Amino acid sequence: MTNKTWRVGVAGLGTVGGGLLQFLAERPDFAPAGGRAVITAVSARNKTRARPVDISSLAWFDDPVALAASPDIDLFVELIGGSDGPAKAAVETALKAGKPVVTANKALIAVHGAELAALAESQGVPLLFEAAVMGGTPAVKMLREAMVGDDVASVAGILNGTCNYILTEMEKTGRSFADVLREAQGLGYAEADPTTDVGGFDAGHKISILAALAFGCAPNFAAAEIEGISDVELLDIKLAKDLGYRIKLVASAAKTEDGVAVKVHPSLAPLDHPLAQAGGALNALFIEGKRIGRIFIQGAGAGAGPTAAAVAADIADVMTNAQRPVFQAPAGALKPFIAIDPARAVGKAYLRIMAKDQPGVIAAISETLAECAVSIDAFLQKPVEGAGGVPIVLVTHATPESNLLDAISRIEKLQTVLERPRLLRVARI
């Protein structure tokens, strides 16, 4: 098969699709085992939009499903996005027609990965999605290929460059979330509707995929515990730094005797930790193996070049006839995803309490925490100009989250407390 020319159909010609067009036009013979990959047909919403490569000689399809079914392509690349609709229909069509599929669609794989894996394996064709997580940084291949000789205990990291950029700029410049978000939209880091990114859902899709690969379970985005960064205040960024931490949006998946915990939360990472030092739009990931120990990877998580490179790597795997289950195990052997009750999670936490500046406040808060079996690891009381009260900040020892939530509810009712305490987790990394 080394001399074969693979006719590639691409649905979706946005940033990544344009990058792939340009790459394959320049290097159709990039695959190490030989052969050529040539884009011969495309589909997109707008035929006349300016693109980095002339597409006038390519077959045009208004309907991506029709492109996926075309007998004139050998491999289908889906870059449309979205968990349902045309993207899902087109991928299903290509797989049913016995065509290999490469996609960058994290929502599709996170929501429908198990059923698509079963379809792909029943047809004996690959379904590959390296570009769905961390762009060009090989997180998927690391778990699906490099870690098969180990038992993965946990994965955790920064999986959304938009959120990382916003939090980095808030700390660096002292500007509010809303102000930095507007700048990120102007620079193209954030969409006009940024909910998927800043709401934590993009990171949730990605960590759901990594959990499936790490633990051999079916991806289950619906079971992920997700909190975005919209409520992160500049005050907390400053106070966390005073305590020796930096706030990052951390996505994590861990396997326990009870099941799998998949979470996305704004979390505190020690200032000297590699996750805390990954700034701007970078992505970063830790993988903990029982035999190998800790592996850390960092790189660009988005953009035309990096993500197109990941798509091309998957195309090369198809061209070399690489055969692996879509996830860590054949689709029929994927374990049920058993989510852990968040209230049973145990970890350290940051509590910021806005209180009146009067005697007895700290004693009342300390007594309430003790009643809820929450012990204090670090404490900071630092008047902040314009804060509307005195912020009292605590970092707790590891404790069940149910205890923390009980303490927060009780502290909120104290007459000296001005608002519901702010809870942030301390990352377990």
Alpha-carbon torsion angle 224, 225, 226, 231, nearest 10? 180
How many domains does the chain contain in total?
3
- Does residue 206 carry a catalytic annotation? yes
Which stretches does DSSP call E strand in 159-307?
225-226, 245-255, 260-270, 282-289, 293-300
Same domain, 162 and 190: yes
Name the catalytic one among 206, 248, 255, 263: 206
Q: With b meaning 16 or more CB within 10 Å and e meaning fewer, what string describes 144-183?
A: beebeebebbbbbbbbbbbbbbbbbbbbeeebebeebbee
127 lies in which domain range? 5-136+308-333
Same domain, 360 and 276: no
The answer as to whether 396 is a domain residue is yes
Distance (Å) of CA 179 to CA 152, 191, 232, 323, 367: 40, 15, 13, 48, 39
Same domain, 269 and 327: no
The answer as to whether 12 is a domain residue is yes
Same domain, 147 and 130: no
Which H helix or E strand runs over 354? Answer: strand 349-355
Same domain, 272 and 171: yes
- The CATH number of the domain holding residue 27 is 3.40.50.720
Residue with tokens 């087109």: 90
DSSP string across 2-20: TTPEEEEEEE--SHHHHHH
Cβ-contact 312, 363 below 8 angstroms: no
- The CATH number of the domain holding residue 359 is 3.30.70.260
Q: Counting every residue, how long is the chain? A: 429
**Comparing C-alpha atoms, which of 16, 207, 212 is closest to residue 113?**
212
Q: Which amino acid is at 302?
A: A
Residue with tokens 């700048």: 183
The whole-angstrom separation of Cα 245 and Cα 377 is 14
Same domain, 199 and 266: yes
The whole-angstrom separation of Cα 405 and Cα 400 is 9
Q: Which residues of the chain have pLDDT under 50?
A: 1
Same domain, 122 and 42: yes
Same domain, 246 and 326: no
Given this model, what pLDDT does residue 386 score?
Answer: 67
Same domain, 151 and 285: yes
The answer as to whether 68 is a domain residue is yes
Taking only Cα atoms into account, the Rg of the chain, rounded to an integer number of angstroms, comes to 24
DSSP string across 367-390: HHHHHTT--EEEEEE---TTSSSE
Same domain, 314 and 296: no
The answer as to whether 338 is a domain residue is no
In terms of Cβ atoms closer than 10 Å to its own Cβ (0-12, 13-18, 19+), residue 337 is buried
Same domain, 161 and 280: yes
- Using DSSP's 3-state secondary structure scheme, residue 399 falls into strand
Same domain, 276 and 166: yes
> Quick count: other Cβ atoms within 10 Å of Cβ 200?
27
The whole-angstrom separation of Cα 408 and Cα 204 is 26
- The CATH number of the domain holding residue 204 is 3.30.360.10
Given this model, what pLDDT does residue 1 score?
Answer: 47
